[in-house]
Amino acid sequence: MTEETGNVALKLSEYIVGIRYEDLPGEVVQRAKTSTLDAIGCMIMGSRIPLGPIIIQTVRDLGGVPESTVVTGGFKTSCVNATLANGTLVHADELDEVGTVGVSGHPAAVALAPSLALAEREGATGKAYITAVVLGYDVHNRIGEAVGARNKLHLRSFAPAVVGCFPGAAVTAKLLRLPVQQVNQALGLAGATTGGLQSWLDGESQHMTKALTYGHSSSVGVHSALLAQRGFAGPPSIFQGKFSVMNALVDQGDLTAVIRDLGTRFDILSARFKKYSAGSPFHAPLDGLLKIMGEKGLDAEHLAEVIVQMPTRNKLLFGDNPPTLSVNPQYLLAVAAYDRKVELEAHSEERAKDPRVWELKNRIRMVWSSELESDPKLHSAAIVEVRTRAGQTFTERVIHPPGSTQNPMSQQQIEDKFFSLSTKVISRRQAERIRDVVANLENIQDLRELGDLVRGE
């Protein structure tokens, strides 16, 4: 602990207790509602892909006090188990929001999912729920920035498994109205039980382990706050000291990032919506390839070779040719060339059987660029070069992929995405009712109204 920073966990706890709905600018409130709609759409769709029924049935079998909804599960369970299920479902299709560039992670899974569970359990107002969501995104991004979640941590551990427990603890503590000391204990307990490996890249193709990491991490945060509420003690300075999160996981972090600009910078505004069902680093090359093909009138059969330049960090994070299809750039680009889109079906077992995709995949080459890596403004960029069988060469440089703060998706695009996902599972009428309630969240007196709509039968 230093004189400059003091007890960082305690300062963060004071912010968690002190933040009010009235402190939130209008654009922040609107963004929390938009993020909620996007996340619910992802959860609904996630319930119908292979991992969905497994996690839902497992949580049903575990039982628990019926207090929080499992989305489309048709039942309530404990807030911890609901967070486990919904936090897994939201990331099941690789379409949920991604954090600020340089932090990454998926804040909806670890901040929004527990907020829904606890707000329903407590019968909280829409304003209390919105405040918790905004707070959760702040905690997620700041701690991710502090430990260098994107730059260093992936090399030794999996960032969401480390960072994801803290927003769950924070939003739970906020909605339980815990005092500062208990909030601090909750953060300490969450941090003391955190950790995780990036072993989902070592041979699993279906994205199940990665999705579960988010649900598990956020549920750890929830039960940590519930324990703290009853007086269970945790480390009081989890970010500092010999055995702190910082010392255990990174060589050198930025401790001041945890509390920097609290109350004036709302990180939910810098989270990025996703257009493609793919790992976020690969949205730029996907956009570049599809733009070239669209503008030049090319089909997949026209492509002789595709060369993609990306920052070297992506090789460090994912490797050259990872088996997990949702983060395999060569595979994703090959599917995009044939389908002109990358939706959930892109990394299904059925789609992966297409021999044409694998033949084209072998003609897509990744070049890991130190030039792009050297400029932080280009960490989400890609340069796509297409060489055709007719001898033509086309190049597209994508600096800001769709969904980024510099190239945002519109409210209408997010609503269209929500309906596209949700109406594969529920009726259009039910989806419209969910959309209308979310649009009016700040006037909702009891979040159980939303829980009733997303529960299903």
CATH number at residue 349: 3.30.1330.120
Domain total of the chain = 2
- Segment 58-64 shows an average pLDDT of 96
Side-chain-facing half-sphere of 174: CA atoms under 13 Å: 36
One domain for residues 210 and 76: yes
- Same domain assignment for residues 268 and 299: no
Residue 392: the pLDDT is: 97
Domain range enclosing 432: 8-274+416-454
Quote the pLDDT of residue 3. 46
| pTM of the model as a whole | 0.94
Contact 161, 198 (CB under 8 A): no
> Hey, what's the torsion of the CAs at 411, 412, 416, 417, to 10 degrees?
-30
Q: Are residues 55 and 39 in the same domain?
A: yes
Chain mean position to CA 235: 27
CA distance 343 to 49: 12
Question: Judging by DSSP bridges, how do beta strands 382-388 and 393-398 pair with one another?
Answer: antiparallel
If asked whether residues 270 and 284 sit together in one domain, one would say no
Lowest mean pLDDT of 168-172, 182-186, 320-324, 374-378, name the range: 320-324
The answer to the question of residue 78 being in a domain is yes
Q: pLDDT tens across 174-214, in order?
A: 999 999 999 999 999 999 988 778 787 776 667 898 899 99
Q: Compute the mean pLDDT over every residue in the chain, rounded to the nearest whole number.
A: 92
- Mean pLDDT confidence for 65-92: 97
pLDDT in tens, 4-38: 568 999 999 999 999 999 999 999 999 999 999 99
- Where is 311: in which H helix or E strand? strand 303-311
| Same domain as 263, residue 220 | yes
List, for residues 432-445, the tens digit of each pLDDT value.
Answer: 999 999 999 999 99
Query: What's the confidence (pLDDT) of residue 151?
Result: 56
- Which ranges in 193-259 belong to alpha helices (H)? 208-229, 245-249
Tell me the average pLDDT across 305-315.
92
Report the chain's C-alpha Rg in angstroms. 21
| CA 107/CA 125 separation, integer angstroms | 21
Structural domain contains residue 409: no
pLDDT at 156 over 70: no
Q: Show Cβ contacts of residue 390 under 8 Å, excluding neighbours closer than 6 positions.
A: 302
- The reply to whether 407 falls in a domain is no
Residues 262 and 135 in one domain: yes
pLDDT at 191: 93
**Same-domain check for residues 81 and 200:** yes
CA 377/CA 18 separation, integer angstroms: 34
Residues 300 and 220 in one domain: no
Residue 114 lies in a domain: yes
Whether residue 179 is found in the same domain as residue 61: yes
Start-to-end C-alpha separation, the chain: 52
Query: Quick one: 383 and 357 in the same domain?
Result: yes
205 in the same domain as 86: yes
CA dist 59 and 65 (Å) reads 12
Average pLDDT for residues 333-358, to the nearest whole number?
92
CB 342 within 8 A of CB 332: yes
Judge whether residue 375 has pLDDT over 80: yes
- 411 located within any domain: no
Q: Same domain, yes or no, for 435 and 341? A: no
Decide: 176 and 79 in contact? Cβ < 8 Å. no
> Sorting pLDDT into bands at 50, 70 and 90, what band is 248?
confident
Mean of pLDDT values over 257-271: 94
Count CB neighbours of 300 within 10 A. Answer: 17
Give pLDDT tens digits for 388-404: 999 999 999 999 999 99
CATH number at residue 440: 1.10.4100.10
Q: Is the pLDDT of residue 149 over 60?
A: no
- Residue-level pLDDT at 152: 52
